[in-house]
């Protein structure tokens, strides 16, 4: 399974970015997908997940600003980020599970990460 994340960059506070995750060898229509982020000196943390059926879950810090989605036909997942803040600066990773729902499981496969930097 290979995951390729893209779409990161430098943006001013209040701006928007859309991250994309392309998968090969895994099917987002049957497996849950997640976005995680890791800021310098911090552990990697969950940002958002979406189950195979489309149910979503968000970290409290991004609720109302970020939206996770997927396109099963293209085997792509997305993270639309709006109202970006300096504290959103991190490397963002997409990951996929081997289960249709997250339900306490951990991702099995990880992408390489894409840097998001938000300037104040």
pLDDT tens column, 64-105: 999 999 999 999 999 999 999 999 999 999 999 999 998 889
Rounded distance between C-alpha atoms, residue 37 and residue 26, angstroms: 21
Contact 48, 35 (CB under 8 A): yes
Question: Measuring CA to CA, which residue among 55, 86, 82 is closest to residue 66?
Answer: 82
In tens, the pLDDT along 14-53 reads 999 999 999 998 788 899 999 999 999 999 999 999 999 9
pLDDT given for residue 104 in this prediction: 86
């Amino acid at each position: 399974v290979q995951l390729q994340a893209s779409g990161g960059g430098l943006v001013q506070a209040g701006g928007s970015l859309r991250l994309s995750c392309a998968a090969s060898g895994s099917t987002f229509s049957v497996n849950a997908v997640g976005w995680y982020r890791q800021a310098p000196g911090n552990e990697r943390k969950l940002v958002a997940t979406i189950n195979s059926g489309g149910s979503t879950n968000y970290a409290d810090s991004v609720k109302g600003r970020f939206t996770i989605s997927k396109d099963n036909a293209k085997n792509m997942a997305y993270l639309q980020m709006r109202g970006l803040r300096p504290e959103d600066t991190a490397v963002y990773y997409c990951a996929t599970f081997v289960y249709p729902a997250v339900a306490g499981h951990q991702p099995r496969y990880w992408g390489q990460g894409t840097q998001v930097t938000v300037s104040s």
